[in-house]
A and B are shown apart, each in its own frame.
Chain A
Amino acid sequence: MNQYLPLLGIVIVILGFALRLNPMLVVPVAALATGLLAGMDVVEVVSKLGKAFNDSRIIAIPWIVLPVIGLLERYGLQQRARVVISGFRAATAGRLLILYLLYRQMISAIGLHSTAGHPQTVRPLVAPMAVAAAETRGALDEETSDKVKAYAAATDNVGLFFGEDIFFAIGSIVLIQQTLEAYRIQLSPLELAVWAIPTAIAAFLIHSTRLLLLDRSLGRARRP
């Protein structure tokens, strides 16, 4: 029975998110509870939290672009992005995001996944352009414009997740290789990476279809 006790940590997380408590409270409490229930002492758990946090600092690096983005926004970047897009009559939010999906999958597949992302490309360019493309056919209410922005962020994620594994030197490929090596299954990174291609194509087709459906729903919402 003892091995099931630390599962309480997962229960705390699920409850915390379900009750919409502040995740910055829920997550450390869940981590402390899990560690303590598994028999660690407080110092040990806190040390582990510290080590893992410290080891993942690389996640904070893309914030370095914020001064550039913020400064350009002060000089009207988002507004300019909208003006540019409204000049293309054929542009729709969906078609624009399909182009971005393709770009995101391709740069991720050649190992350049950290050159784009939510701070780097979505906030300054992709989201305002998608909203502008949707607005060429009439103004959007806030809820609809939020929906278009959410699709812009979603498109970045889909492109990243289902592009990066085609690149053989990515962390997840290394992890698969090392996990299987423990069972004496020898695979080269390239042998693994090719099997990411069918899913990448499926992801492009499924998400593109949904983006075209988004265009249709935007058109319908405006018709009386």
Chain B
Amino acid sequence: MITIQWVFFLVGAMFAAWAVLSAFDLTNSKRFGNAAFWALVALSLLAGTWLGDLANGCLVLGLAALASLNLIGRSKPATGEEERAAAGALHGNRLFLPILIVLVTAVAGTLLYLYTPLHQTGLFQANRETFVLLCLGVLLALAVIFVWLKPPPLAPLQEGRRLIDAVGWAAVLPMMLAALGLVLAETGVGRTIGELVLAVIPEGSVLPAVIAYGLGMALLTILTGNAFAAFPVMATAIGVPLLIQGYHGDPAVVGAVGMLAGFCGTLMTPMAANFNLVPSALLELKDPNGVIKAQIGTAIPLLAVNIALIYFLAF
């Protein structure tokens, strides 16, 4: 069976190659910082399963130290804008083919595997099929590019490194925030906030309780960056005791739409780095909060809609 560990090995090998190439990149004055940073990420992916919690924790502190001491720099692209425009004109729309190979392998492959007798072979680890197929698509696309365009052998790694350097430490911030989320959950911080919210609701009427539940989901998600962390807290504090048991709301609506109210919070917080800060870095935007600013106008009205949906559909 192909498990997620195989995928970790492949992605880890890629980060390891980036570490080595970074060390030899004379255009980057912080090349050893980059090399050390990507080497630690590679170590986590390759060996994290066996390192043990404490060693993994030290690895996390190492990443944090390298990033916060500003020891990571950026590499320079090998080709310029004009060269690329000329190459684009030369190769035409066939340039989209390799991306399509990646997307179609992942999409069609997953559908084919899950909805035909193929899944009975147990070839892929359950629920991880898409990740394995995404990697397979990448390898296929690279093979096609090598046959067609004959790039220098190291080119895919060097070009990939150019992009990951543009993202920089933001690439591992989401995992860092997941770690913070766990500590917050285990120390009961969410529960304390839930109790504080509960304390301000007037007793005996449904609407204020619904509003507190919806806003609480969004607010707690903004603070922790994760609606998954907020949901059990708000369900325990308000959702179950007040809305479901107290006012007899439909539990399916309270649960499902409550979670979606939390997702509105995800759109508004830098704590959800994976969705909000990483793309700013990946798209090389000047303002790291640019994506959040583009989302607030959708998030706030949608949060109001979610609160209204709970009020009208659950009661």
Q: Which residues of A contact B (CB under 8 A)?
A: 3-4, 6-7, 9-10, 13-14, 17, 22-25, 27-28, 30-31, 34-35, 37-38, 40, 43, 45-81, 83-84, 107, 110-112, 114-116, 118-125, 127, 142-143, 146-147, 149-154, 156-158, 160-162, 165, 169, 171-173, 175-177, 179-180, 183, 185, 187, 191-196, 198-199, 202-203, 206-207, 210
Query: What's the Cα separation between A111 and B149 when bound, in Å?
Result: 34
Asked if A149 contacts B68 (CB within 8 A), the reply is no
Contact with A along B257-301 (1 / 0, CB 8 A): 111100100110011011111111011011100110111011001
Given the interface contacts A6-B188, A111-B110, does A28 sit within 8 Å of B61 by beta carbon?
A: yes
- In the complex, B253 has a CB within 8 A of chain A: yes
In the complex, chain B residues 47-62 whose Cβ is within 8 Å of any chain A Cβ = 48-49, 51-61
| A-chain residues with CB within 8 Å of residue B91 when the two chains form the complex | 75-76, 80
- In the complex, B87 has a CB within 8 A of chain A: yes
In the complex, chain B residues 63-79 whose Cβ is within 8 Å of any chain A Cβ = 63-64, 67-68, 70, 78-79
Asked if A35 contacts B187 (CB within 8 A), the reply is yes
Contact with A along B156-187 (1 / 0, CB 8 A): 11111111100001011111111111111011
Given the interface contacts A199-B257, A207-B298, does A57 sit within 8 Å of B103 by beta carbon?
A: no
- In the complex, B313 has a CB within 8 A of chain A: yes
Given the interface contacts A6-B189, A50-B59, does A154 sit within 8 Å of B7 by beta carbon?
A: no
Query: What's the Cα separation between A158 and B303 when bound, in Å?
Result: 13
- In the complex, B147 has a CB within 8 A of chain A: no
Q: What's the least CB distance linking B171 to chain A, in Å?
A: 7
Query: What's the Cα separation between A149 and B175 when bound, in Å?
Result: 25
Number of residues of chain B lying within 8 A (CB) of chain A: 145
Least CB separation from A177: chain B residue: B255
Majority DSSP secondary structure for residues of B touching A? helix
Asked if B295 contacts A67 (CB within 8 A), the reply is no
Asked if A150 contacts B180 (CB within 8 A), the reply is no
Q: Which residues of B contact A (CB under 8 A)?
A: 4, 7-8, 10-11, 14-15, 41, 44-45, 48-49, 51-61, 63-64, 67-68, 70, 78-79, 81, 84-93, 95-96, 98-99, 102-103, 106-107, 110-111, 114, 127, 130-131, 134-135, 138, 141-142, 145, 149, 151, 155-164, 169, 171-184, 186-189, 192-193, 223-224, 227-228, 231-232, 235-236, 240, 244-245, 251-253, 255-260, 263, 266-267, 270-271, 273-280, 282-283, 285-287, 290-291, 293-295, 297-298, 301-302, 305-306, 309, 313
